[in-house]
Structure 1
Amino acid sequence: MTVELRLDRTTTMAQLLHIRSHQLTADVTEAEGGNDAGPSPHDLYDAALGACKALTVMWYARKKGIPVDDIHTLVERDDSGERQGVYRLATRLKIHGTLSDAQLQELHAVAQKCPVHKLMSTVTTEITTQVERLS
């Protein structure tokens, strides 16, 4: 899969992200020189974790017949140590449904195993970058 980004020419720096048939805007705040036309790359990174946890829990609950009616997910960022190599994300899933304590614990375990959580914490990501002239 390829994600394509192009400059949004109506803004200073914002990027239009094209993912399959979806379009999103990413930008930085005005204090960082942007127009705050969309979430920042850090916001999208954090949101990917929250979305993955919620979707994984919902998928699992439906597969196992666990009565989950709603999930409200919060992701709190502490980037104060990022330059020293530590980026902290605290997630909280508020799950609504007629759940036993055992089912809630089961869903907690599932949330800990979402693919993005694993990607962020246990996988080595290798990145290559090429810079070319645009003609």
Structure 2
Amino acid sequence: MKIRLASQENTLLAQTLYMDEHQLTTDVPVSDGGENLGPSPHDLYDAALASCKALTVMWFARKKNISVFHIDTHITRDDSQERQGIYKLTTSLIIHGDFSEEEFHQLSAVAEKCPVHKLMTSVTTEISTKVERAA
């Protein structure tokens, strides 16, 4: 997948984010110089974890024929120590369905193993940046 962003005309900082056939607006809050026209990069980072946990649990439930009807997922961010290298995310999943206590424990364990959780906590991410002058 290729991700592309383009600055939105007539906005202060907003970008249109293109991911395959999907697109959305990303911006920063007014307090940071934007217009709050969409989620911030930090919001997208946090949302990646929330959506991965919910999708992973739902995928596992379907695979194992565990009756899960709905999942409510909440993320709470504590970025008060981000500059010191600590960024805290607290996730809460409320799983609605008809399942046993053993199946609930399986679903809980799977929530801890979603791929984005692993990326955020166990993997070294290498980033290279190329900046070019427009022709």
Could you tell me which residue of structure 1 aligns to residue 128 of structure 2?
Answer: 128
Q: Whole-Å Cα distance in 2 between the matches of residues 128 and 68 of structure 1?
A: 41
Q: Which moved more, 1:58-67 or 1:8-17?
A: 8-17
Could you tell me which residue of structure 1 aligns to residue 63 of structure 2?
Answer: 63
> How many residues were matched structurally?
135
* Residue 10 of structure 1, CA deviation: 2.8
- RMSD over aligned Cα atoms: 0.7
* Residue 81 of structure 1, CA deviation: 0.9
Q: Are 1:12 and 2:3 matched, yes or no?
A: no
Q: Whole-Å Cα distance in 2 between the matches of residues 54 and 62 of structure 1?
A: 12
* Residue 130 of structure 1, CA deviation: 1.0
Could you tell me which residue of structure 2 aligns to residue 101 of structure 1?
Answer: 101
Q: Whole-Å Cα distance in 1 between the matches of residues 85 and 25 of structure 2?
A: 27
Long gaps (5+) in structure 2 = none
Could you tell me which residue of structure 1 aligns to residue 110 of structure 2?
Answer: 110
Long gaps (5+) in structure 1 = none
Q: Whole-Å Cα distance in 2 between the matches of residues 129 and 37 of structure 1?
A: 26
TM-score normalised by length of structure 2 = 0.98
Divergent runs of 4+, >4 A: none
* Residue 2 of structure 1, CA deviation: 1.4
- The secondary structure found in structure 2 opposite 1:119 is helix
Give the fraction of aligned pairs with identical amino acids, expressed as a percent. 59
What does 1:13-32 align with in structure 2 at a 5 Å threshold? 13-32=13-32
Q: Whole-Å Cα distance in 2 between the matches of residues 9 and 92 of structure 1?
A: 38
